[in-house]
Amino acid sequence: MIKLAIIFHSVTGTTKQLASSVAAGASSVTGTEVIEVEIVGADIIEGRFNNFALLEKLTDADAMIFGSPTFMGSVSAQFKAFADATGELWAEKAWSDKVAAGFTIGSNLSGDQLHTIQYLQVFANQHGMLWASLDIPGNCDPQNRNRLGAQSGLIAHSKDGVLNDTDLMTAHYLGQRVAHVAKKFSG
């Protein structure tokens, strides 16, 4: 049995919908326990992330998939506060060799969402995690998944808060992929 955690922040719910699809995809892989962990504003006190119970939940995860909306070209402040609170875990190499991946959404087609994914990758690599890309060839997929053609992680787009079905399908696939990759490494 592998444990896969999805850690995300969402204000208006679109990232949360993606997180649910990622979770459904991961859960569909036999032998995968999935936990969804939402970062909320109340976790942050005087600018610092204080929910240590949430961090505790991640300790024995084999894989983590990080999700944040793109705000001003990067992760949200709330996600960054969470990331900054993992400094001690970084020093202990507590997340080293865990599999990681990421997803984001923006309201512009090219709203600098790639930078959010790249931040998530750097964050994972700071921890010595192994980054799993999105291996759906952009414009070749018969189901049009990964329609925005990001291979480093899932980039979704919504102008009006309504999720595109193919973005949800891509999120489902990302969850499956990370569960499969984590299973390979857990042996």
Ligand X SMILES: Cc1cc2nc3c(=O)[nH]c(=O)nc-3n(C[C@H](O)[C@H](O)[C@H](O)COP(=O)(O)O)c2cc1C
| Side-chain-side CA neighbours of residue 181 (13 Å) | 22
**Cα 6 from Cα 22, distance rounded (Å):** 8
Which of the stretches 10-18, 77-85, 129-137, 143-151 binds ligand X when contact is defined by CB under 6 A? 10-18
**CA–CA–CA angle 183, 115, 100 (5° rounding):** 10
Q: Which is nearer to ligand X, 67 or 175 (CB)?
A: 67
Compute the least distance from the CB of residue 114 to ligand X, in Å.
10
Q: Which is nearer to ligand X, 112 or 141 (CB)?
A: 112
Distances (CA, A) of 127 to 86, 87, 124, 165: 9, 9, 5, 33
Instruction: Choose among 169, 156, 157, 84: nearest CA to 119.
Output: 84
Site for ligand X in 72-91 (CB under 6 A): 72-73
String marking each residue 99-118 x if it binds ligand X according to CB under 6 A:
------xxxx--xxx-----
Q: Can residue 122 be called a binding residue for ligand X (CB under 6 A)?
A: no
Q: Which is nearer to ligand X, 14 or 51 (CB)?
A: 14
DSSP letter for 95, please. Answer: T
Q: Please select the residue that binds ligand X; options are 70, 121, 170, 176, rule is CB under 6 A.
A: 70
Contact predicate 134/150, CB 8 Å = yes
Compute the least distance from the CB of residue 170 to ligand X, in Å.
15
**Residues forming the site for ligand X (CB under 6 A):** 10-16, 69-73, 105-108, 111-113, 158
